[in-house]
Amino acid sequence: MTANTVTEQLTAAGRAIEHDSFSIIDAEVGPHAYRADQWPVVRRMIHANADFDFNGLTDFHPQATDAALAAMLGGASRIVADVEMICVGLSASRLAHFGLGTHQFISDDDVIARARAEDTTRAVQAMRKAHRLGLLDGAIVGIGNAPTALIEVVRLIRDEGARPALVVGMPVGFVSAAESKDLMAELTEVPWIVIRGRKGGSTLVVAAIHALLGLAEARQREAA
């Protein structure tokens, strides 16, 4: 089988280390119930944090990976994130291969002003701005830092008809983090990937999206 070239490490030494890491995870993880298209996502998340708890805590909407790959290969043009860290963490060359750009609005002056005026968080207003600009529909939305951003995305889907292609909902924390992910996982209108409980973070969102990009490249090669 021909290996991925775009979504792999750029040097042979780097690829060997990453592949050895994946082999170690496969050997040590023990039993899991993830499908063949889901396990690479969970494995890369474990790789990002050396935390085997993500075997079990990670939950998928049944159509999550298919929806992600369809978006990446079918002309989705954007990833909308709650914080800049996600945008910076994603590989520019991998995104460029699929024509994907990134957007985040957490530090925009108008977002800060609205958050102060309405006594909400910047994360809430950032998601509202993305929706006003028409950026949520068809996008891959990554939430790794702010539970209030994920709660707002759920509201926008339920009440205002927003339709992202996929929501990767993994905010970390002690206030509303677990609850926000449970709310997301109740939705049937939009596919999602979540981490149950308090664990999460922007690094895990990046890892999950990178894994999905790898799956998309493999499918792209199969179709060539």
Residue 42 to residue 81: CA distance in whole angstroms: 20
Residue 9 has pLDDT above 90, yes or no: no
Residue 202 has pLDDT above 60, yes or no: yes
> DSSP alpha helices (H): ranges in 74-164?
84-89, 92-97, 109-118, 122-132, 147-160
pLDDT digits (tens, 9 = 90+) for 112-161: 999 999 999 999 999 999 999 999 999 999 999 999 999 999 999 999 99
Q: What is the predicted pLDDT for the residue at 33?
A: 93
Phi, psi of 172 (to 5 degrees): -105, 150
The pLDDT > 70 percentage for the chain reads 99
- On average, the pLDDT of the chain sits at 93
Q: What is the predicted pLDDT for the residue at 77?
A: 76
Given its phi and psi angles, is residue 90 left (phi above 0), alpha (psi -120 to 50 degrees) or beta? Answer: beta
pLDDT digits (tens, 9 = 90+) for 64-75: 999 999 999 987
Q: Where are the domains of the chain?
A: 12-223
Q: What pTM does this model have? A: 0.94
Q: Comparing C-alpha atoms, which of 180, 160, 170, 155 is closest to residue 202?
A: 170
Q: Comparing C-alpha atoms, which of 20, 25, 24, 17 is closest to residue 41?
A: 25
Select the CATH number that applies to the domain covering 12-223 from these four: 3.40.50.10230, 3.30.420.40, 1.10.3720.10, 3.90.1010.10: 3.40.50.10230
**Long-range interactions of 176-179: CB distance < 8 A, separation 24+:** 176/147, 176/148, 176/151, 177/147, 179/147, 179/151
Q: Predicted confidence band at 1 (pLDDT cuts at 50, 70, 90)?
A: very low
Give me the mean pLDDT over the 203-215 stretch: 96
Give me the mean pLDDT over the 84-112 stretch: 96
Residue 46 to residue 5: CA distance in whole angstroms: 22
Phi, psi of 163 (to 5 degrees): -135, 75
Confirm whether 47 is a catalytic residue: yes
Q: What is the predicted pLDDT for the residue at 30?
A: 86
Q: Predicted confidence band at 224 (pLDDT cuts at 50, 70, 90)?
A: confident
pLDDT digits (tens, 9 = 90+) for 168-194: 999 999 999 999 999 999 999 999 999
From 47, 61, 131, 210, active-site residue = 47
The pLDDT > 90 percentage for the chain reads 83
